[in-house]
C-alpha cells in the first residue's frame, strides 16, 4: 500500500493521468452515473480523486463536491487546475462525521483494488460517511474485459465475492454498468480513433467495457 501511495507523489504520474483521459468521454461516463441515481442528493465525496477530472465534471453537472486524495501532488493539481475543494486524507480514515454525504464515489481507488481486509475496511468507512438511503459508487477495472485479459493487470477487480461483501455491509447493489474502451490516448491519433470508434459500439458490454461500476445504496 505504501508503494502505491508513493507512486502517486511522482510528477510523471500526474502528467500521465492528465494526458490519460479524454474529458468528453469522461463527461459521458459521469452523466451515465448521475442518470442512474436520479433521486440522489447533491453532496458528493470523490475518494482518491487523483487529478480531479471526475470531481470537476460532477461539479459542473450541479453536484456539491469535495475531492479527497492521499497524495499531496494530486491534491495540489486538483485544486490549482480544476479549482476544486480538495482535502488531503486517507480513504481508510476519512476526516468526516458520519452520514455526511449523499453520494460517495470512487474510481480506481487503491483501497478497493487491494487486499480483501483493506477492501472491507474501506467499504465500511464509505458506508459510515454516507447518509442512509445515499449511494456508494465503486468503479474498478472490469474483470471480464478482453483488454485486461491481455494486459494481465495484477490489480483486484470487483467480483461476485465483493458484491457479497457489499451486501454483508448492508449495502444494496442496485445496478452494475460496464463502461469505456481503452485509455484516452486512443482518441488522439486518427487510426487509433477509428479503432476506438468501432470498439466503442460494444463498450457497454461486460466483455469490452474496461470499467465495472457497481452502484450501491445504503440501507
Ligand X SMILES: C[S@@+](CC[C@H](N)C(=O)[O-])C[C@H]1O[C@@H](n2cnc3c(N)ncnc32)[C@H](O)[C@@H]1O
Taking residues 39 to 68 in sequence order and writing x for each that binds ligand X by CB under 6 A, - otherwise, the string is ---------xxx---x--------------
- Cα 207 to Cα 84, 142, 192, distances in angstroms: 34, 8, 20
Q: How far is the CB of 108 from ligand X (least distance, A)?
A: 3
- Given the rule CB under 6 A, which of 33-41, 103-111, 140-148, 189-197 is the region that contacts ligand X? 103-111
Q: Please, which residues bridge with residue 191 across strands?
A: none
CB of 194 to ligand X, least distance (A): 26
Please give the order of strands across the beta sheet that includes 211-218: 86-88, 64-69, 43-47, 101-107, 130-141, 211-218, 171-179
Among 56, 70, 77, 135, binds ligand X (CB under 6 A): 70
How far apart (Å, rounded) are the C-alpha atoms in residues 199 and 18? Answer: 23
Report in angstroms how near the CB of residue 144 gets to ligand X at its nearest.
Answer: 19
Residue (of 114, 101, 10, 98) closest to 47 by Cα position:
101
Q: Which residues bind ligand X (CB under 6 A)?
A: 4-5, 8, 17, 48-50, 54, 69-71, 74, 90-92, 107-111
Amino acid at each position: 500500500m505504501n508503494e502505491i501511495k508513493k507512486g502517486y507523489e511522482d510528477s510523471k504520474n500526474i502528467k500521465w493521468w492528465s494526458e490519460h483521459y479524454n474529458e468528453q468521454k469522461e463527461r459521458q461516463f459521469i452523466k451515465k452515473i448521475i442518470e442512474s441515481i436520479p433521486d440522489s442528493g447533491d453532496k458528493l465525496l470523490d475518494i482518491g480523486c487523483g487529478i480531479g477530472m471526475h470531481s470537476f465534471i460532477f461539479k459542473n453537472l450541479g453536484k456539491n463536491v469535495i475531492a479527497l486524495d492521499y497524495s499531496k501532488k494530486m491534491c495540489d493539481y486538483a485544486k490549482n487546475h480544476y479549482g476544486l475543494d480538495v482535502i488531503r486524507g486517507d480513504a481508510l480514515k476519512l476526516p468526516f462525521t458520519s452520514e455526511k454525504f449523499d453520494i460517495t464515489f470512487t474510481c480506481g481507488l487503491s483501497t478497493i483494488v487491494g487486499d480483501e481486509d483493506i477492501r472491507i475496511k474501506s467499504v465500511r468507512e464509505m458506508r459510515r460517511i454516507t447518509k442512509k438511503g445515499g449511494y456508494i459508487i465503486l468503479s474498478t477495472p472490469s474483470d471480464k474485459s478482453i483488454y485486461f485479459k491481455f494486459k494481465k493487470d495484477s490489480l483486484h477487480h470487483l467480483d461476485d465475492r465483493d458484491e457479497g461483501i457489499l451486501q454483508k455491509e448492508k449495502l444494496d447493489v442496485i445496478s452494475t454498468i460496464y463502461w469505456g474502451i481503452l485509455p484516452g490516448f486512443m482518441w488522439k491519433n486518427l487510426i487509433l480513433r477509428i479503432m476506438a470508434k468501432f470498439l466503442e459500439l460494444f463498450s457497454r458490454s461486460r466483455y469490452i467495457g474496461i470499467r465495472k461500476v457497481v452502484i450501491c445504496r445504503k440501507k
